[in-house]
Structure 1
Amino acid sequence: MRQRRQIGKVFRLGLLLVISLAILIAILVFSFAPSFVAKRFNPISPLVLQPLSSSSQALHESLTIVDLHADSLLWGRDLSKLESYGHVDVPRLIQGNVALQIFTVVTKVPTPLLLEGNNDRSDNITKLAILQRWPIPSWFSLKERALYQARRLQSLEREASGKFRIIKTKQDLNNYLAQRQQNRAITAGLLGLEGAHALEGQIENVNQLYEEGFRLIGLSHFFDTEVSGSAHGVDKGGLSPFGREVLKRMEALGLIIDLAHASAQTMNEVLQITSRPVLVSHTGVQGTCNNARNLSDRQLQQIAQSGGVIGIGFWETAVCGEDASAIARAIRYVADKVGIDYVAIGSDFDGAVRVPFDVANLGQLTQALQKEGFSEKEIAKIMSLNVIHLLQKLLPA
């Protein structure tokens, strides 16, 4: 009897030890794994940055910079604080003289991730949501993931001590730009959605996302959906009947159409239907980097003819290089093909890509554009004015 009690006691102690160890491991995983993942997936090229000339520094400081694409809300960093990893936070936006950053929300990414032939059966963001302790509803709902990231941006606005604000209307934009003329130590964000699969097939969700502050929706991401075909999908089809309904609702609300990742058929059909300019927030061009991720000359012409802009990305698949000069070459190609008024920057910062520099060192690109032969007026258009003029046309009043 005594022996049985001793065995029971040892068993209970062993069980308690196992449970305690499991809890400790869980605490360590959930405490340290998110930062490890963010560091691993968002590296910066080890290439040594070039010292900025005095003329490049002065020009960069005079600009009102707008970047069309960053996925920073996906990761578990406090964006109000300066970090030594990742690509974007409020202090580094201010250091880099960025006036407006478009923060795009990612809700589903297949694994493995291919340039072509992805299906929608797998998803890496579910694992990331659990690892980063997102609210439980977001583990099972793409719309909830979008809403959670939107609310993260809203929290950032509240917690940034007046240094960050969210732009939702033309009036917001114009008031902010006027204020920033007097105070460069502030920055702003605009909320976008990367992939309309987060609508979960419900047209009323377009309105809900609009009410939460979204002002831009990319129809496609890495796989074909019930809305439209993706350049990286299996079928690469066009707009579905639901996709056409989504497009109509977006136009009624004043939501901006982003054709990044869209299949050629989707792009053609959208441009036949819409009367509003469209943009491609982050891309490369096949003329300098020939792969399925990047735009053909014909697609460049289509976007320009709509009155839209093309945001050139900073990662190797977009520009076939790992330095600022590769980005500048792609920008030069667009400017020469369709005109200086239709090209912008769309970094894809924090988009699980390696980039040449973080946002604090964006002056590297200003200098590379000078070396590429662009004038100061042309650089101002590339780095901001083309996008600002488009937003002043497209944002709701």
Structure 2
Amino acid sequence: MKKFLIILTPVALVLFTAWKWLLLPGVEKRMNTRTGEALPALSVRARALHESLVVGDLHADSFLWARDIGDRADYGHVDLPRARDGNLAIQVFTAVTKSPRGQNYASNASDAPDNITLLAVAQGWPPRTWGSLLERALYHAGRVRALASEAPGQMRVIHSAEDLRQALASRAQGGKQLAAILGIEGAHPLEGELANIGRLHDAGYRVMGLQHFFDNELGGSLHGQSGAGLTEFGRAAVQEMAERSIVIDVAHSSEAVVRDVLALVERPLIVSHTGLRGMCDTPRNISDGLMKAVAAAGGLVGIGYWDGAVCDPSPENIVRTMRYAIDLLGVEHVALGSDYDGTVEVAFDVGELGVLTQEMLRQGFSEYEIRRIMGENLRDFFLEQLPAS
């Protein structure tokens, strides 16, 4: 038996390595796709303007996958080399810790089988993550910190407004450091314990989404079954987040939750990755009236790049959606919210973000509008809302 185990162990390791490095990329290649449509070459004017911008994005799920985003890949949507190609300066990297089997925009049960458990096991996440959503979030933060430690000139984890100022100052002097802000997609990693807000904050999280695709301990999801507002635990959690200067994201929250949060705290909210119901009438988008309430309270709305948010995910229609958002909410409340690497198909990856600048020029946007939407709104929002130091 002992001899058999000695032989079996290296065989198992070889099989696991083959699974991780040969088969798992195929999974992501099917999940995070690009349409394949050819993009127009950037004009001299568009390229020069794009390279002068501060570009920021409110939502990407890149660290969910086994891929090392420190290296350039020919699949997925975000890695550091392509981020440099696209002049990306600020990215909110979000931890997905639970996803219901059969996930859809209409109705998902809270107790549906979880997709992320299988992914965690298959990708070789530590066993502590297999049964704990909190540990999954902590592991995600550890992966981001590890990459920043390995490549400090390329990425910095942002904990404070001062951190962000320093990262932006480095870029202004010719550096290529990406400012990475940690977020969670749904606050179920709290596992019903307010104390876990502190643990996640200590791990570096500065953005917390309240729900994802299902109702949780904090309240109803836009895609859940209850349509409920904040629970008592949810109200206590939101107040604790606000006291810690954690930015609250209501991108997947029920309309009742959004209204409750607006009434409960004075800090502005984000809707990190979304579309506008008046432009794309799908269950993924909350009502225009509620979006106006978020903006009126100083909030920020990130426009997504996939069909569920904008219906037609072409650069032309994404920019038309941005114009609609400006007219509805005001230019200071509109930002980018790609949902890159979030199991979506997009027309361009992070290295091709200049296509948005070019399309905004073509559609008659002013340089001021382009600068604000492409990243200055996001920059100023986080400089104001993050802890000072």
**TM-score of the superposed pair, with normalisation by structure 2:** 0.95
Corresponding residue of 1:47 = 37
Q: Are 1:307 and 2:310 matched, yes or no?
A: no
1:230 maps onto 2:221 in alignment = yes
Q: Could you say which residue in structure 2 is the equivalent of 1:359?
A: 350
Contact kept, 8 Å, 2:20 with 2:66, in 1: the verdict is: no
Structure 1 residue 18: deviation in Å?
9.2
Output the TM-score relative to the length of structure 1.
0.94
The equivalent position to 1:89 in structure 2, one of 79, 85, 88, is: 79
Q: Is the contact between residue 80 and residue 159 of structure 1 (CA under 8 Å) also seen in structure 2?
A: no
Cα offset, 1:101, TM superposition: 0.6
TM-aligned CA deviation for residue 183 of structure 1: 1.5
Spell out the pairing of 1:317-336 with structure 2 (5 A cutoff). Answer: 317-336=308-327
Alignment of 1:156-235 (within 5 A): 156-235=147-226
Contact 1:228 1:239 in 2 (8 A): yes
Cα deviation code 1:275-294 (max 9, x no counterpart):
01111000011111101101
Q: Tell me what 1:256 maps to.
A: 247
Contact kept in structure 1, 2:164 and 2:179, CA below 8 Å: no
Is contact 1:300–1:334 with CA below 8 Å preserved after alignment?
A: no
Corresponding residue SS for 2:279: coil
1:255-294 equivalences in 2 (<5 Å):
255-294=246-285
Residue identity in the other structure for 1:123: D
Asked whether the 8 Å contact 2:167–2:177 carries over to 1, the reply is no
Which residue in the other structure is 1:61 paired with?
51
Is the 2:53–2:374 Cα contact (8 Å) retained in structure 1? yes
CA displacement at 1:33 relative to structure 2: 2.2
Query: Per-residue deviation at 1:295?
Result: 2.8
- Residue 117 of structure 1 aligns with which residue? 107
Equivalents in 1 of 2:313, 2:182: separation in Å? 28
Task: Verify: 1:28 aligned to 2:14, yes or no.
Answer: no
- Mark the runs of 5 or more structure 1 residues left unpaired by the alignment: 1-11
* Residue-by-residue CA offset, 1:275-332 (whole Å, 9 max, x unaligned): 0111100001111110110132102211111101100000111111131112111111
Match of 1:133 in 2: 124
Structure 2, unaligned stretches of length 5 or more?
A: none
- Residue 26 of structure 1, CA deviation: 4.1
User: Which digits, 9 at most, give the CA deviation of each residue in 1:217-252, with x for residues without a partner?
Assistant: 000100000111100001121100000110111011
Percent of pairs identical after alignment? 44
- Residues paired across the two proteins, number: 387
Q: CA deviation at 1:27?
A: 4.1
CA distance in 2, matches of 1:16, 1:174: 54
**1:110, 1:120 within 8 Å by CA — same for their partners in 2?**
yes
- Residue 120 of structure 1 deviates from its aligned partner by 1.9
Using the TM superposition, name which of 14-23 and 330-339 deviates more: 14-23
Secondary structure at the counterpart of residue 34 of structure 2: coil
